[in-house]
Structure 1
Amino acid sequence: MAVMDVRDDSKGWLVMWLEPLGEDRWLRPDENFRVRSDYNGDELAFSITFWVDDNDRSAGIENAAVWIEAGDCYAEVVDRAGNLIECGHQRPAEVDRRWQASLEEAQKRAADRKRAADRKGGGETVG
């Protein structure tokens, strides 16, 4: 089994992104999560990348992506007691509201573009 611990040593939130799935889990200061996979090969099972977003940093948020490099991309994330930690764990309500509003706006723009393309296409047939 491949295992990697992720610990928030900052004074604010650490968002751990599980990639390539794009799942988020939020760690409080001094909190520790364990990512584990059933992969037993010789290749590197996980890698980790950090990035800085000035808006996040000013809000006390750091970001780290745990990339599943080998094995099943559906790795488990557990806390110190072994409890399963799901996507969205501890995501602040304000962040959830902003993300939902952004999603709804993107869906509206996509629908508007589709309607415009349908009108522009009119009764033309492709043959």
Structure 2
Amino acid sequence: MPVENGGDIDLCLFVEPSCEDYWMKPGEAFTVHSAAEGIDVWFETRVSKGCVIVWLYEDGDPYKVVGEHRVVDENGTPLDSGHQRPVGQRWTAGGPIID
């Protein structure tokens, strides 16, 4: 699932249930892939101020969460959680606080 930051501020891509965050600069695009082979993965997205939250489900069943995933940049380079995270980023139980 590709996600592109078409805005003019940093955008957080937040992958659940692992609470992993990847920060995109304006104009950047990342892709979320399931690491599981041979299953039909559906993506659920929620958008809030400055953040796109992604869940991966097997066959679209919210009780079958796919936990193994990877996020890559436009060149296919795998990214680690916290990629480009702003210094001093604040959090709540539900994810990053975007001021």
Listed as ranges, the matches of 1:3-82 within 5 Å are 4-37=1-34, 38-42=36-40, 44-52=41-49, 62-70=50-58, 72-82=66-76
| TM-fit CA distance, 1:39 | 4.5
Amino acid at match of 1:66: V
Name the Cα RMSD after superposition.
1.9
Which structure 2 segments of 5+ residues have no match? 59-64, 93-99
Where has structure 1 moved over 4 Å in runs of 4 or more? none
Amino acid at match of 2:21: D
Higher fraction of strand: 2
Percent identity between matched residues is: 33
Amino acid at match of 2:10: W
Give the count of matched residue pairs: 85
Distance 1:24 1:50 in 2: 14
- Structure 1 residue aligned with 2:96: none
- Structure 2 residue aligned with 1:92: 86
Higher fraction of helix: 1
| TM-fit CA distance, 1:92 | 1.1
Per-residue CA deviation, residues 63-115 of structure 1 (Å, 9 max, x unaligned), is 110111126412010011111111000001132xx55xx9xxxxxxxxxxxxx
Listed as ranges, the matches of 1:107-122 within 5 Å are none
| TM-fit CA distance, 1:5 | 0.3
Amino acid at match of 2:69: A
Distance 1:27 1:39 in 2: 27
Which structure 1 segments of 5+ residues have no match? 53-61, 103-127
Q: TM-score under structure 1 normalisation? A: 0.60
